[in-house]
Amino acid sequence: GEQELMARRVLDRSVSKTVNGHTFPVPAAEERILISTLQRMYRHFYFRLCDMADMAALIESRSLDFGELRRGAELGSIWAGVASFLVIVVEYAKTYGYQLELPDDIIAAAYSSNLRVEFRNRFLRVPMRPAAGLYGSQLFAAGRHGDMRAITRLPLLPPLAVSALLAYRLTGSDKGVW
């Protein structure tokens, strides 16, 4: 898609993981967060419980290089979204007694330090106001950087979202819309 530099980065920074004697290239921890942020904060607007558990475990492991994460996020103009994503994970984990810590600059870069997911229609939904703000800032940054690929692709998302909503209202299913 419109995140060509970030996609290249996923390949360039991949690490090896061995499972049952087979070794596979997998995204580095920072790239896993970038990919999840794009999926959850910019495209689907909901979290799965496994997203929360996986990302909380990454934060808790203290193995993340937050500077590297920021460099990757800035390639796609999604730093505010990544920071917001991490704040949401930390706040959600806090409701279950986990005390995860983020650097102050990440909390400051988030759309709000009080972001929470809302349980609605069987999903943990991202509030739409922050999601719309993040989308707008991504589109604006693409224009500022002259990223023609992103400029031509990102405006397609709102009409697709409206189509998805209409399909959901008509069929009751959110499967196969995207």
- Examine residue 165 and state whether it is found in any structural domain, yes or no: no
Distance CA 155, CA 83 (A): 23
- Examine residue 79 and state whether it is found in any structural domain, yes or no: yes
- Examine residue 176 and state whether it is found in any structural domain, yes or no: no
- Examine residue 27 and state whether it is found in any structural domain, yes or no: yes
Q: Please, which pLDDT band fits residue 98 given cuts at 50, 70 and 90?
A: very high
* Amino acid symbol at 18: T
Number of domains in the chain: 1
Name the β-bridge partners of 15: 26
Distance CA 14, CA 4 (A): 16
Q: pLDDT digit string (tens) for 126-136?
A: 877 776 777 77
- DSSP 8-state symbol, 126: P
Q: pLDDT digit string (tens) for 25-66?
A: 999 999 999 999 988 888 788 888 899 999 999 999 999 999
- Examine residue 170 and state whether it is found in any structural domain, yes or no: no
Q: Does the predicted model carry a pTM greater than 0.85?
A: no
By residue range, what is the domain housing residue 88? 4-149
Pairing of strands 22-26, 46-47: unpaired
- Examine residue 20 and state whether it is found in any structural domain, yes or no: yes
Torsion (CA) 91, 96, 101, 105 in degrees, nearest 10: 0
